[in-house]
Amino acid sequence: MRLFRVLIVLLFCTLLITFDQKTEEETLIYSFHHPETNQVFHIVHVYKLYENYEKRIEKDSTIPIEQIFEEEVIEPVFEACYQDGEYFERSGKTYSVEPPEDMELVNAIINTIDEEKTNKAIKEALIESANYIPSNKATNVCIYPTRYDPDLPQMVTEGTGKISVLYTLFFDEEFLKVGIAHEYHHSVWTEKYFNRESADTILDILILEGKAVMFENIVYPGNSYENPDYPFLTEYWGLVEPELNLYDAYRAYEIIYGGDDLPDDYGYSAGYHLVKAYLDTHSELTPEEWTELSGEEIYEDGKYMELY
């Protein structure tokens, strides 16, 4: 009889733990399907785990915050947000977020996140994007509260179906929609065309970003935050053109983000105009069709220098 009671207690405890885990997962993840294709999407509200992180760093002052962050924030969402991400692995498995020290700022950011409006904006952007280019994989969007840094991206594609939103105080629904469309394009391009065995030239990377800017402008016309309308200036292109065939991702993103001798976000604009030059003479192509084209083909057939 005593053994039976012990077994009942153990079973009850197991059920409670399972229920708690399921409840936490349900509050963290908002899932939905494309209404026509049944394509799967998940929005992971990772910021809800930061309360656990804050409690741990207050209680366990002898444990490095990096370890606490890994255990309380990263591990519960690792499978959804990072596992097998092509760019995450290429980066040496470097996370796009770091353990925050200023929890007052983090909590202020979290307090600005309206979960219902955020879900609605991201859902709309994902479905609208999938109308142009469907995916065979689930797409997960993971949201982290993040201190704004003008030198860092505010959204990152970790790989196929894995998008990180580094949510700052400056986010709104329109910014979310456009950014998600941009990153969704990176995600489906990665799913279909990424090659782990080959490196990319500066031209390839510029075209990749240009395709994403073009795509966001198709999904949300006129709402791009990348300012693709910089006029073509020979003085800027003269700094970039000799390096196009180099295999140098670091330099490519220096060009993309701009600074020094280039305007801010110059590479987004240049990449967009490279793609636009091609589409101006191949307007019959759908986004799915031009997405698969190589950077070299778009550059050579687009007659970029002649048009701009």
Give one DSSP letter per residue of 126-158, joined into a string. HHHHHHHS--SS-EEEEEEE----TTS-SEEEE
Residues 236 and 169 reside in one and the same domain: no
Return the beta strands (E) in 25-99 as ranges.
29-33, 40-44
Q: Higher confidence at residue 210 or residue 197?
A: 210
- Residues ≥6 apart with Cβ < 8 Å to 290: 211, 275, 278, 279, 282, 298
In a domain, 287, yes or no: yes
Rounded to two decimals, the pTM is 0.90
In a domain, 291, yes or no: yes
Residues 42 and 158 reside in one and the same domain: yes
Amino acid, single-letter form, for residue 236: Y
Residues 34 and 171 reside in one and the same domain: yes
In a domain, 23, yes or no: no
Residues 60 and 206 reside in one and the same domain: no
Burial category of 147 from C-beta neighbours within 10 Å (exposed 0-12, middle 13-18, buried 19 and up):
middle
Q: If you average pLDDT over every residue of the chain, what do you get?
A: 90
pLDDT given for residue 121 in this prediction? 98
Residue 159 falls in which region: left (phi positive, over 0), alpha (psi -120 to 50) or beta: left
Tokens 């329109």: give the residue. Answer: 174
For the chain, how long is the longest CA-to-CA vector? 89
pLDDT given for residue 67 in this prediction? 97
In a domain, 8, yes or no: no
Q: Could you count the other beta carbons within 10 Å of the beta carbon of residue 169?
A: 13
In a domain, 6, yes or no: no
Measure the CA–CA gap between 147 and 297, rounded to whole angstroms: 39
pLDDT given for residue 8 in this prediction? 45
Domain count, the chain: 2
Residues 68 and 166 reside in one and the same domain: yes
In a domain, 17, yes or no: no
Tokens 């970039």: give the residue. Answer: 240
pLDDT given for residue 11 in this prediction? 40
Measure the CA–CA gap between 165 and 291, rounded to whole angstroms: 23
Residue 61's pLDDT band, with cuts at 50, 70 and 90, is confident
Residues 228 and 146 reside in one and the same domain: no
Q: What is the mean pLDDT of residues 244-255?
A: 95
Residues 186 and 206 reside in one and the same domain: no
Residues 51 and 169 reside in one and the same domain: yes
The answer on pLDDT for 31 being more than 60 is yes
Q: What is the mean pLDDT of residues 203-228?
A: 89
pLDDT, tens digit, for every residue of 271-291? 999 999 999 999 999 999 999
pLDDT, tens digit, for every residue of 149-166? 988 899 999 999 999 999
CA distances in angstroms from 30 to 194, 210, 271, 281, 304, listed in the order given? 28, 30, 34, 42, 43
Residues 185 and 206 reside in one and the same domain: no
Residue 229's pLDDT band, with cuts at 50, 70 and 90, is low
Residues 67 and 163 reside in one and the same domain: yes
Residues 79 and 59 reside in one and the same domain: yes
DSSP β-bridge partners for residue 140: 42, 162
Q: At which of 174, 193, 212 does a domain end?
A: 193
Domain hosting residue 153, numbered range: 30-193
In a domain, 1, yes or no: no
Q: What is the mean pLDDT of residues 62-73?
A: 97
Q: What is the mean pLDDT of residues 233-237?
A: 81
In the chain, helix, strand, coil percent, each to 5? 60, 10, 30
- How large a percentage of the chain has pLDDT more than 70? 88
Residues 89 and 209 reside in one and the same domain: no
Q: At which of 175, 193, 211 does a domain end?
A: 193
The answer on pLDDT for 208 being more than 50 is yes
- Residues ≥6 apart with Cβ < 8 Å to 122: 43, 141, 165, 176, 177, 180
Tokens 């935050």: give the residue. Answer: 225
The answer on pLDDT for 5 being more than 80 is no
Residue 223's pLDDT band, with cuts at 50, 70 and 90, is confident
Angle at 233 between CA 232 and CA 236, to 5 degrees: 115
In a domain, 170, yes or no: yes
- Residues ≥6 apart with Cβ < 8 Å to 44: 28, 29, 77, 80, 81, 140, 141, 142, 143
